[in-house]
Chains A and B, each alone.
Chain A
Amino acid sequence: MAFKPSDKRKFVAEEAELNLLPILNMIIVLIPLLLTSAEWVKLGLLETRLPPAAAAGGGGGAATETEAPLPKLSLLVAVDEAGAAVSIEGATSETGEAGKYTYFPMTNGAVDYDAISKELWRIRKDLVLPSIKGKEQAVDDRGKVRVNPDGSPVMVDAYGFDDAETVIISAPNEMPFQDLVKLLDATRQFKDPQSGRMEKLFPTPMMGKIN
């Protein structure tokens, strides 16, 4: 007597195939789109200002500098053919720093950017940071109060100097722009070897020429 074969035998495990074609189509469209908008070279912006005297004709910028009740630090970094000098020309006689002049000769034919940065950090730590009186509302270059996304005013440190974040730069006529950018980088921030943190120095450079 013949037995009916079991139904279990009929179920053969089939290999399910995922249909990748729609995903592939989408990826093929996305790749050229992303290729055209990819940022191969990351660009940044380096903001600079002219010293107040030269910028006086300007419309937007440093117009608020004229009626400042606070004393001025007038921090100057002057580069010449043999090195660079960091000096404070402003009203800081109470700290004994007024007119203090530190000269850094060139090392291996290049400006000693690290030494300049270190000296500027010392000045910020010894003079600028102790002058902070509290917090105040931040204003933009046009004198308008800056606000957070929630509408509250942006609060910043209230320094005891009018130009506490400004450094005046002077350099030889023939100095290449790349060297100038290195100098601006050195005056903007400093990596503290003790804490390992990047410390803000003087992020607003004003470029001029000393005759």
Chain B
Amino acid sequence: MAAPSNMRKNSGRGNKEENIPLASMMDIFTNMLLFLIMSYSATGLLVEQVDSLELPQSTVETTPRASLAIVVDSGKLSGVPGVYAEEKGKRTDQLDDGATLSYVPSGADAQNPDAMSLPGLGQFLAQKAAELKDREAQLGIPFDGQITIQADAAVDYNSILKVLKTCGDHEFSMTQFVVIKKN
């Protein structure tokens, strides 16, 4: 008597319903979900870190708020120092170049208050202040003079002062620097 072919033996397997063991996959996904919920933050939608910028670390605990934003880049990572306008984590226009930013007034120029101002940033802020005041008049959204600055950790103190002074001169006296929170 001929032995039944192997095909027949195996033909019944296709009819059985094979269940993929989902329990282990569920465990992994549940752990991932919990981890992601823990690290969820709505503040990331308010302030985004700009690429090629090394922000300083601080023990500060204040959470970011959305406001007019600029970038002060030392050029350490990007290679292009200067002051930029910022929107949604991207640099848009270059307002002042690296030479203007890093210029240290000396001699008679040291007594000139305009030597510590950044002209490109000044024009940008004047325009933005006018826009925000119009918005205040039309929509009632108060203009509070807040500006958020993303400055590279390697930017020097002289450049920081220039940016602060220019902001103060153009009605943006509430300056806030974006930092990376330690721990």
Contact flag A24-B179 (CB < 8 Å), given A34-B36, A59-B129: no
- Which range holds the interface residue count of chain A? 35 or more
**Is B157 touching A178 in the complex (CB atoms < 8 A)?**
no
Main SS at interface, chain A:
mixed
Query: Would you give the shortest CB distance from A28 to chain B, in whole angstroms?
Result: 8
Chain B residues closer than 8 Å to A209, beta-carbon distance? 161
Cα distance, A184 to B157, chains bound together (Å): 13
Smallest Cβ distance from B151 to chain A, in angstroms? 5
For residue B114, give the distance in angstroms from its CB to the closest CB of chain A.
12
- Interface residues of B toward A: which range? 35 or more
How many Å lie between the Cα of A62 and that of B29 in the bound state?
Answer: 51
> What residues of A have a CB within 8 angstroms of the CB of B100 in the complex?
none
Stretch of B5-13, B53-61, B80-88, B91-99 contacting A (4+ beta carbons < 8 Å)? B53-61
Q: Tell me, yes or no, whether A175 is within 8 Å of chain B by CB.
A: yes
Chain A CB within 8 A of B138 CB: no
Contact with A along B22-40 (1 / 0, CB 8 A): 1101100110110011011
**Is A45 part of the binding interface, using a Cβ–Cβ cutoff of 8 Å?**
yes
State whether A41 touches B180 (Cβ < 8 A). yes
* Interchain CB contact (< 8 A) of B173 among A60, A181, A207: A60
In the complex the two chains form, is A45's CB within 8 Å of B56's CB?
Answer: no
| Contact, CB under 8 Å: B36 / A38 | yes
Q: Confirm or deny: B68 has a beta carbon within 8 angstroms of a beta carbon on chain A.
A: no
Which residues on A are within 8 Å of B, measured CB to CB? Answer: 17, 20-21, 23-24, 27-28, 30-31, 34-35, 37-50, 54-55, 57-62, 141-142, 171-178, 180-181, 184-185, 188-189, 207-209, 211
Given A59-B129, A178-B154: 7 more A-B contacts, CB < 8 Å:
A27-B30, A46-B178, A47-B174, A50-B173, A58-B171, A141-B144, A141-B174
